């Protein structure tokens, strides 16, 4: 079974700083997807960024980028120029490629990120 571990329960940075959230995972699969989800105080889950394991290039979405180290099974999220609206719980998640239509996500425990003014 796959497991996802986020070792930082809480983090806090000043606005405009850069912050990196860590995630490690365990799998015997060679092809899979990795995700970072954001859950603000409203508790709505929002997809931040996605990485396909077969792609060597790290994914980027505006101020959000990842450092994907497949051999080390590490998948960290970097938030540049952090904003107050980035304050949220961040979840790392793993998924095997869907074979029959359903996509089962396995989530880490989450990191509570606070951006201070």
Partner 1 sequence: DGGITQSPKYLFRKEGQNVTLSCEQNLNHDAMYWYRQDPGQGLRLIYYSQIVNDFQKGDIAEGYSVSREKKESFPLTVTSAQKNPTAFYLCASSIGARVYNEQFFGPGTRLTVL
The answer to whether 100 contacts partner 1 (rule: CB under 8 A) is yes
Residue span binding partner 1 (CB under 8 A) among the ranges 13-21, 66-74, 80-88, 105-113:
105-113
User: Nearer Cβ to partner 1, position 47 or 84?
Assistant: 47
State how far the Cα of 6 lies from the Cα of 78, in Å rounded to an integer.
14
Query: Do 11 and 23 contact (CB within 8 A), yes or no?
Result: no
State how far the Cα of 32 lies from the Cα of 30, in Å rounded to an integer.
7
Among 60, 62, 103, 116, binds partner 1 (CB under 8 A): 103
Q: Smallest gap, in angstroms, from Cβ of residue 31 to partner 1?
A: 11
Q: Smallest gap, in angstroms, from Cβ of residue 86 to partner 1?
A: 19
Residue span binding partner 1 (CB under 8 A) among the ranges 44-52, 53-61, 63-71, 77-85:
44-52
Q: 111-116 and 10-14 as β-strands: parallel, antiparallel, unpaired?
A: parallel
State how far the Cα of 24 lies from the Cα of 22, in Å rounded to an integer.
7
The answer to whether 45 contacts partner 1 (rule: CB under 8 A) is yes
Helices and strands counted in the chain (H then E): 0, 12
User: Nearer Cβ to partner 1, position 50 or 80?
Assistant: 50
């Amino acid at each position: 079974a796959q497991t996802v571990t986020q070792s930082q329960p809480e983090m806090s940075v000043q606005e405009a700083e850069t912050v990196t959230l860590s995630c490690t995972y365990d799998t015997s699969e060679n092809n899979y997807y990795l995700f970072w989800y954001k859950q603000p105080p409203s508790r709505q889950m929002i997809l931040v960024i996605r990485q396909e394991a077969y792609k060597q290039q790290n994914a980027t979405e505006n101020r959000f980028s990842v450092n994907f180290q497949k051999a080390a099974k590490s998948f960290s999220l970097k938030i540049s120029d952090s904003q107050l609206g980035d304050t949220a719980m961040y979840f790392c998640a793993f998924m095997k490629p869907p074979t029959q239509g359903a996509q089962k996500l396995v989530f880490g425990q989450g990191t509570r990120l606070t951006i201070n003014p």
